[in-house]
Every structure is written in structure tokens, then in C-alpha cells.
Chain A
């Protein structure tokens, strides 16, 4: 039986895999990376189904929530600051009597949306900018990179703070026209829309640099030359040949940037410039409760643990992906 297994393995080896499959197999061998990946998949499931209810028909009784026992904004005035383990509140309640378990579970939605959207925004802007810069004539390329250098010297986080203050104030006051539409979107998302914008603005620069450098190195390759000789246009070359070849490193670097996005969101929410209460961002939960740590430590330590575990999982996954896509970098 084990001989057969070994033969299968050998056949698998011979059959040959695409670079992507190869990378995936290497990722599976990276224990911490796999663990991080599994944890993130669990988080995604929680985020997707946190407010799904089990129809009454299945259990015959009442309509029951599938994951989070309560809604994140459900206030219970007579059950404030209960410790973990209280019947009905496995992780206790906060200063408004809201179920901490439910709020923490709902919080996955905020952190993961930020992670995914901020990563996509910065990936799309950065890739576009970087590839255009890499393909543009030298003079345009120089100008574009000068602009990036200029922004790089800018204390962008300060501007994101000011920008968020502006967005928040506009959002509170209401607006008309296009801004009004954006404000409504932002309200519907509990204050997350403007965070996406702010984080995207903050983080595309590094990606633009990486994408340009990668484009420049790929541009020299023979297969680009042969594609050009066969009459392929710039667009075709970019989408068929350049993009697939530079995507790997860009995605790896973006995954490694995700913990930064998550903690920036938590930071902005902590100083009151992130999501709108009662949206249960972990940063907001900590900022509302850290002052009471002497008496009710669990109220800030539980969302803190969730934040730390999520960041840890993305760090593990990022490490694993990097090793998988570029085995030469293993252990760096």
C-alpha cells in the first residue's frame, strides 16, 4: 500500500504542474502558512454567516442564529459588564450590556473587509500606475516616479488622519450630489467606505514601485520580444505576458501588507476616526473599554486577542506565500 502511494507520488511528480500549482503545494508544506490560511478561511466563514439564522423549520423550535448569539448593537441595560462565563454570555458583556462574543464575531466583517478591499484598491492602483510607468517613455516614467518619491517623503498617515476627520464630519453633516451618494454608501457600511478610500490612498505607493520594478525586469525577457515580433500590441503584452508574470510577487507583498491595513483600521477606530459606533470594529471596542481595564479586563482583552490572532494569521499566510512563490527567500 505504501509502495503504491509512493508510486502515485512519483507519477504526480512526473506529470508536471503549473507554477501556480507548484506554489500551492509548497504553501501546503509550510505549516504556519497553512495554519494561517485555515484560520483566515474560518474567519471568512464567520464573517459571511455571522448573522445568518437557522430557519425554524430545521429544529422545529424558534428561529436561531447560526453563529453569533445576538446582534452586535443589542443593548441590555440590566446586564452590563458581566464577566465571561455568565449564562447566555460566554464572553461576558460590555459597558452597555452588549454581548462581547457577538460583537467580536461581527468584528471579523470589519477587519476582513478592510483587509480585502484595501489590498485590492492598493493592488489595482499600484499595478496600474507601476505598469504604465514601466511601459511609458523614459521621460514620463521619470516624472511618474518622481511623484511617487515625493509622496514617499510625505507623512501620509497624518493626512489620512485629517482626511478621515474630513470624511467623518461630512458624513455627520450630510451632503448633496456625488458626495451625498458617497456619504450614504459610507453610512450603509457603518463608516467603512471612507476607510477603504483612505487606506487605498495611503498604501498604493509601495505597490507602484514594486510593480514598476517587476515590469521593467519582465520587459527585458525574450518572450516579450517574441510576442512583440509576432505583432502583439502593448495591451496584449501587458495582459497576457506581463501581468501574469508579475502578479505573484505583487500578491505576496500585498498579503504581507494586510496586517498593516488591519491595524491601521483599528488605530483609526481607536482614536475615533474610523468606523461609526456601534459598528463593532475591534479597535473601537478596545478604545471604548481600555479605561476600565482595572475592573473589567475582558472587555478590552477579548477584542484585542481577536485582533492579534487575525494579524498573526495574515502574517503566517504572507510568510508561507512568500516562501511558496519564491523558495529562494525561505526563512527571510
Chain B
């Protein structure tokens, strides 16, 4: 179980690839189980997709007809089979709530925007969190450290739905520096349907508030973790050795200290990713961003089964993939961890 480099025939790269393949294979039953559970949970919710047209209750016969048209009158196992087949092909057909669009159309339009938001939030969290934690650890017990620690615990405790309105009120309304709402770019302005024009000032002006709102709590918790683990690492013998052989402090901290202290940080990135997904639901609502989150929540209230399925699958693939990436990077950061 415990391989040592002397163990003979030890090839880290091969092991890593093997490990990644195993994890990817393991993701298949997980995703299938997710589809099955989603199917039954979505169907168990009382009420159907065609009970109402707007505010008005649809006549029984029309409802029956619509349900027949979308195959909702078929036996359960048949529907489940079709549902899973849709999931595998990643083609969910028209959305029940807005029948002129397919679920794929909606996802294609909204997912890039949600992804940009989440990505910028994560980037912000890392770019603020790691340096802040490092400075606090290096200057332990100085006013800088206390200030950073205090800011961090304050940031951790601020819920997204508090930061959002607060930042909006201060920077968009009182100071008027930034726009209050909406994303700075939409589907038609994306390169390859996915990448924003990062040279556009409009994109960044609109992105700052939502991304900071979403990322702030995570930057704070990353700062706390980085500080704590760097403080432990700094006391290790190999850091003393590095100093003793005359390595400059900056290089010692960054090359020898930081890399090792990022291991615990990597472990929380997985749950953090899930938090960013749920946080994006709130942020998109507060800032009126036409992302996936809004469609997901309304799909549930509308019993829009294909849309529920589509967005659950997108979120699940994202989260499962994030977990795999985190585990792999964890092992990469700490070579003592073997892939098994």
C-alpha cells in the first residue's frame, strides 16, 4: 500500500495517470446515481409542469395532451431511461417553461456567464487570500498580522447576501463608481461563445462587485488557512536549513514554505467550489445577472424537468470534476501522498 521511491518500478507520472483514470471511471456511477436521484426527486415534487399557463389553470384535456406530447404519460422506467439517455448525450430537448428554446440553448447562453463569475470569484479569493495569509504569517504577532487576521475572520463571517447589498450600496449607489447590476457582456459578445473580451472596461466594471461579493468570504478563509499552515511550516527543520545555507528570506518563504503550506488550502478548494456554486445563485439574483442560477431555481418552481435535469447535470459534472482536480493537485503538492 505504501510505496516508497526505493520500492522498485515506481513511476509517479504513470501512477498519477492511472489515478486520474480511476477517478474519472468512479465519476460515472456517481453521475448516473445523481441522474436517477434527480429524476425521482423532481418527479416526487407535487404538481406537474403543465398545471398552469401563467396564472390560469390549464384545462384537464390540454394538460393531458401536453403531457402526452412530452412523453410524461409513458411508464416510469421508460421515462427514466429516456432521461438518462438525454443526460448521456447531453441533449435535453425543449424547456417546458419556455418551449421556444431548448435547454441546451439556455445553458449555452447562461453557463458561460455563471462560469466567468465563479472563475473570477475564485481568482479573487486566491489572489487576495494567499498573499494576505503569507504576510500575516511572516509578520506574526505584529499589527499587520492582527489587522489581517481580524479582516479575515470578519470576511469569513459576512454572508454573501449581506456583502452584496452592502457593496452595492456603498460603491454603486452612494459613491456611484460602479454599475449596480447586470453582467458586462452577454452571449452574443463572447468569443467562441465562451470567453469574454477581457480588454473591455465595461466587462470589468460590471464584474468587480459580483465577483468580489462571491469571492470575499473565500479569500478570507484562504487567508486564514494559509496563515495557519505557513506558521506551522516555517518552524520545520528544512526551513531552518534553507536559512542556514544563506537563502534569502523571500525565496525561502515562497519556494520552500508556501508550496508546502498550500496543501491544506488545496483540500478546502473542493467544498469551496460547491460554496461558489450556491453563492452564485444568490449573487446572480442580487446583481440581476442572467446566469444559470436563476434558471435553475425557476426551473424547480416551474417543474421544468428537462431544465432541472440539465442544470443539475452541469453543476454535478462541475463539482465532481473540481473534486478530482483538487485531489490530484493535493497529491502533486505533497509527493508523500500516494495515489491510491
Contact = CB atoms under 8 A, between A and B. Distances in A.
Interface of A: 32, 150, 153-159, 161-163, 165-166, 169-170, 173, 259, 263, 266-267, 270-273, 283, 286-287, 290, 293-294, 297, 300-301, 304-305, 307-309, 311-312, 315-316, 319, 331-332
Given A308-B162, A331-B228, 9 more contacts: A154-B30, A155-B277, A155-B316, A157-B278, A158-B315, A272-B301, A273-B300, A290-B164, A294-B180
Contacts of B44: 166
Closest A-B pairs by Cβ, 10 of them = A304-B162, A332-B228, A312-B157, A311-B157, A155-B319, A162-B41, A169-B46, A300-B165, A165-B300, A263-B159
Contact of A170 (B46, B228, B274): B46
Contact of A294 (B45, B173, B274, B285): B173
A241 B159 CA distance: 39
A287 B173 CA distance: 19
7 contacts: A158-B315, A161-B300, A170-B46, A173-B47, A267-B160, A293-B169, A311-B157
B228 A312 contact: no
Contacts of A259: 156-157
A77 B42 CA distance: 39
Nearest to A304: B162
Q: Which of A159, A271, A272, A273 has the most CB of B within 10 A?
A: A271
Contacts, number: 128
Nearest to B150: A32
A153 B320 contact: yes
Q: Which of A155, A270, A309 has the most CB of B within 10 A?
A: A155
B281 interface: yes
Contact of A297 (B165, B300, B301): B165
B17 to A, nearest CB: 20
Nearest to A300: B165
Contacts of A161: 297, 300
A166 B45 contact: yes
Contacts of A157: 274, 277-278
B47 A308 contact: no
Given A173-B46, A308-B159, A290 B165 contact: yes
A43 to B, nearest CB: 14
A311 B285 contact: no
A297 B162 CA distance: 11
Contacts of B165: 286, 290, 293, 297, 300-301, 304
A32 B153 CA distance: 11
A18 to B, nearest CB: 29
A300 B281 CA distance: 18
Nearest to B159: A263
B290 interface: no
Given A297-B165, A332-B232, A158 B316 contact: yes
Contacts of B277: 155, 157
A26 to B, nearest CB: 18
Contacts of B231: 331-332
Interface in B184-232: 228-229, 231-232
Nearest to B281: A271
B289 interface: no
